[in-house]
Amino acid sequence: MRIERSVSATRASGVYVRPTKTGGVRRVSITAQAVEALRAHYERAERTAAGHRRLVDAADFVFSNDPEAGRPWRPDLATRKWERLCAKAGVRKVRLHDLRHFVATELLTQGTDVRTVANRLGHARTSTTMDIYWGFVPARDRDAADHLEAILRPT
């Protein structure tokens, strides 16, 4: 997947599209399940467009409530949908942004290199990733101690 832009909203400016924080384009791999979900959503966008006698154009926002697909969803729409999903599942106090922290911590804990994690998060510098997330990975420190014990243990 290519990440080229971000969508933001303020009361004063409304919804607007801007470049990513770093201004660059990044590519990240996504799961087969995510590809299927995006395909299904794209097909819904195609049906909506067809209902308005048009085709989905490359410039269209697929995540849009606008029949002409010229405006993206408000970012808080995804947040509200997440909150309803959590409530339905009986999950409390988990923000949508917490998924970002979960992914970073999970990947670092299982040994994914920090450059890959930083790229997925959109951090231009690995030090940003390390500063924010490494404190949440105490298991890696335990692994380091276990490794040193194994190689330094007298035989």
Percent helix, strand, coil in the chain, to 5, is 50, 10, 35
Give me the chain's average pLDDT, please: 90
Domain definitions of the chain by residue range:
1-73, 97-155
Kindly report, residue by residue over 49-77, the tens digit of the pLDDT.
Answer: 999 999 998 889 888 988 888 999 999 99
Q: Is the pLDDT of residue 138 over 80?
A: no
Q: What is the DSSP letter of 2?
A: E
Average pLDDT over residues 75-83: 93
The pLDDT tens digits for 26-53 are: 899 999 999 999 999 999 999 999 999 9
Read off the amino acid at residue 45: A
> What's the pLDDT score for residue 127?
95
Residues 6+ apart with CB under 8 A from 29: 1
Give the pLDDT confidence score for residue 76 in this predicted structure: 92
